[in-house]
């Protein structure tokens, strides 16, 4: 095997891992945001994205009584649906449990996840179908390395959203208020910040991030089945968040990309005969290592 | 009419009552100091006034307006603000951001900027460290920040819980002097304190014991009466 071929064997999965990892990063960002503001882990985070993906194809294909809408409108409706589901979760599940032990709230979000999967199954049917990619065609296709336009779109979306998130949290009053509530809620109430409204805002943003991630990921994997996004992306997104230290927003993004690359390299380099599902095993090992060696995360500081 | 009127105020935690119905009034432009042993109910009183604890019974009026039962947000908007026990600064935000958020209830940008300059006038140390994360400030600096943040809402009544806790006697004195300056500029002040060094600045003194008020009088009278010695040292009142 020549050095050139070897390099390609390593580079090609790195490229696809980077793209996949960007989606994990978006989901991880939402997880970190909710962890910072409510000190909980949201089991339904990836499935908020699943809801977005289903609503998108329902409108894109004009399923049942629904009108057949242009793709951009359908995508927008999908994202809106994810925001709505996140806001409802906040209002109906999280807020009534404001003074309950955190573990109760975490279990309740697992309940939300099960409910969402059930509703998806009811509306979509049990059998697996397929999601189209929003952007078709390839940006680069040189034999060994292939980058789809969908892949480019994912990386661009991640870059734009991270810049917007950075500006939002460092410059805007509401971004600062979210951080203030997460650090000292009592002080936030004392200066007149409505902790309830900030909580709703935080969930709305998390729903938006999940919606964007869900539609991009669904279009990349193609597979459409109730709960498939949770199965595919929840654990990697969680690992991404832990990589970054669970409270660091940039850490979640970096963590997502690292996780995506590790998963994809393991998948490509370890032969299937030796270790089936090597990608997920590598994720698990990476997660364990981080927890053992740097429990505070790679970046290891609250940002 | 007094600026703050408290009548038969009762509150507590869960099912546990703490305040047994306390009544007092604070005049506009004065400084009132609340003394009392640990667990007497000082923080409970002041947190209840700020809207952090529900009012179980009785009434609070501020400038004639009923405040009891209203949210913390409504109360700070009405002009009453609190530098809480334990300081509670936002450790991961800069000094500047802490102060800016203190003005959350205000809409006037220019006025807010003026108040910020005023805070820096009171506490030059905060201006020197305005870009530093609040969590890396010393305890004394954090206390200055907590007071500064409470001033940023431009309150008519400023409440400070444990102003001098953990401060060196010299710094405590500095904080008292600043509070007296704030008071001279027209803000009414209620300050919870264990340090009797605050007495020269007190127009009014209150003593709390087991959820009730046992003394309400002028600061200078308190100094003469020996009531403080009885409260803190358990000695009989010298007559
Ligand atoms: N969160 C709480 N839950 C239950 N009881 C509480 C709570 N906070 C205070 N208490 C009780 O209320 C009573 C009054 O407490 P408070 O904090 O008002 O005292 P304090 O006068 O401020 O004391 P210190 O000088 O120690 O700050 C105490 O008996 C205390 O145990
Ligand atoms: Mg106290």
Per-residue pLDDT of chain A (303 residues; tens, 9 = 90+): 566 666 677 888 888 899 999 999 999 999 999 998 888 899 999 999 999 999 998 898 888 788 888 989 999 999 999 999 999 999 999 999 988 898 999 999 999 999 999 998 888 876 777 888 888 888 888 877 788 888 888 889 988 998 998 899 888 999 999 999 988 999 999 999 999 999 999 999 999 999 999 999 888 877 778 888 898 899 899 989 988 888 888 888 999 999 999 999 888 888 777 777 788 888 888 888 888 887 676 665 555
Q: What are the contacts of B135-141 at 24+ separation with CB within 8 A?
A: B135/B89, B135/B91, B135/B92, B137/B89, B137/B95, B139/B87, B139/B166, B139/B167, B140/B166, B140/B167, B140/B168, B140/B171
Q: Are residues B190 and B201 in the same domain?
A: yes
Do B150 and B160 belong together in one domain? no
ipTM above 0.90, yes or no: yes
Q: Are residues B55 and B6 in the same domain?
A: yes
Residues B143 and B229 placed together within one structural domain of the fold: no
Domain endpoint, select from B131, B154, B177: B154
> B161 and B64 in one domain?
yes
- Does any CB of chain B come closer than 8 Å to the CB of residue A99? no
Query: Of B106, B123, B154, which marks where a domain is finished?
Result: B154
Pick from A169, A187, A193, A300 the residue to mutate for testing the B interface (most B CBs within 10 Å).
A187
8 Å CB contact of A192 and B91: no
Residues B237 and B160 in one domain: yes
Spatial distance between the Cα atoms of B59 and B43, rounded to a whole number of angstroms: 18
d(CA A252, CA A127): 33
The alpha-carbon gap from B105 to the nearest alpha carbon of chain A, in Å, equals 6
B90·A194 Cβ contact <8 A: no
Does one domain contain both B160 and B110?
A: no
> What's the rounded mean pLDDT across residues B58-62?
94
Q: Nearest residue of A to residue B150 by CA position?
A: A191
Considering the domain architecture, whether residues B108 and B197 belong to the same structural domain is answered as no
Residues B163 and B146 in one domain: no
User: Which residue segment(s) compose the domain that B114 sits in?
Assistant: 87-154
Same domain membership, residue B73 and residue B62? yes
Residues B138 and B204 reside in one and the same domain: no
Distance from CA of B226 to the nearest CA of A (A): 36
**How many structural domains are present in chain B?**
2
Domain final residue pick, B132, B154, B176: B154
* Residue A9 φ/ψ region, left for φ over 0, alpha for ψ in the -120 to 50 degree band, beta for the rest: alpha
Query: In the structure, how many helices (H) and strands (E) does chain B have?
Result: 9, 10
């Amino acid at each position: 095997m020549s050095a050139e071929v070897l390099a390609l064997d390593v580079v090609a999965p790195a490229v696809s891992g980077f793209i996949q990892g960007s989606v994990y990063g978006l989901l991880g960002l939402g997880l970190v945001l909710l962890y910072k503001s409510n000190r909980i882990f949201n089991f339904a985070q990836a499935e908020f994205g699943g809801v977005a993906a289903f609503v998108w194809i329902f409108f894109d294909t004009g399923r049942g009584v629904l009108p057949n809408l242009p793709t951009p409108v359908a995508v927008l409706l999908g994202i809106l649906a994810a925001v709505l589901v996140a806001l409802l979760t906040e209002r109906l599940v999280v807020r009534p449990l404001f003074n309950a032990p955190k573990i109760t709230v975490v279990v309740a979000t697992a309940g939300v996840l099960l409910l969402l999967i059930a509703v998806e199954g009811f509306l979509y049917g049990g059998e697996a179908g397929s999601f189209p990619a929003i952007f078709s065609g390839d940006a680069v296709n040189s034999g060994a390395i292939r980058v789809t336009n969908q892949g480019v779109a994912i990386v661009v979306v991640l870059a734009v959203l991270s810049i917007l998130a950075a500006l939002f949290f460092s410059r805007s009053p509401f971004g600062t208020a979210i951080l203030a509530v997460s650090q000292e809620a009592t002080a936030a109430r004392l200066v007149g910040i409505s902790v309830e409204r900030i909580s709703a805002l935080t969930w709305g943003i998390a729903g938006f991030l999940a919606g964007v991630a869900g539609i991009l990921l669904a279009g990349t994997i193609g597979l459409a089945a109730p709960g498939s996004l949770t199965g595919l992306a929840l654990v990697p997104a969680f690992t991404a968040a832990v990589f970054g230290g669970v409270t660091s927003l940039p850490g979640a993004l970096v963590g997502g990309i690292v996780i995506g690359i590790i998963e994809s390299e393991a998948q490509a380099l370890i032969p299937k005969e030796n270790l089936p599902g090597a990608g997920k095993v590598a994720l698990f090992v990476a997660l364990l290592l981080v927890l053992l060696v740097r429990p505070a995360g790679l970046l290891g500081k609250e940002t | 009419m007094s600026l703050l009127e408290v009548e038969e105020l009762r509150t507590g935690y869960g099912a546990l009552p703490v305040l047994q119905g306390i009544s007092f009034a604070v005049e506009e432009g004065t400084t009132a100091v609340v003394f009392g042993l640990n667990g007497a109910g000082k923080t409970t009183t002041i947190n209840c006034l700020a809207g952090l604890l529900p009012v179980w019974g009785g009434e609070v009026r501020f400038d004639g307006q009923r405040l009891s039962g209203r949210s913390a947000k409504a109360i700070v908007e009405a002009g009453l603000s609190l530098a809480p026990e334990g300081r509670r600064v936002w450790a991961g935000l800069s000094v500047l951001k802490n102060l800016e958020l203190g003005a959350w209830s205000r809409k006037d940008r220019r006025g807010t900027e003026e108040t910020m300059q005023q805070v820096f006038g009171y506490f030059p140390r905060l201006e020197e460290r305005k870009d530093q994360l609040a969590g890396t400030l010393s305890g004394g600096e954090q206390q200055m920040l907590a007071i500064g943040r409470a001033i940023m809402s431009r309150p008519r009544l400023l409440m400070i819980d444990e102003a001098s806790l953990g401060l060196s006697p010299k710094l405590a004195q500095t904080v008292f002097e600043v509070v007296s300056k704030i008071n001279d500029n027209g803000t009414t002040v209620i300050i919870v304190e264990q340090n009797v060094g605050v007495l020269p600045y007190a127009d009014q003194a209150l003593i709390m014991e087991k959820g009730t008020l046992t003394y309400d009088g002028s600061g200078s009278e308190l100094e003469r009466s020996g009531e403080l010695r009885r409260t803190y040292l358990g000695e009989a009142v010298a007559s």
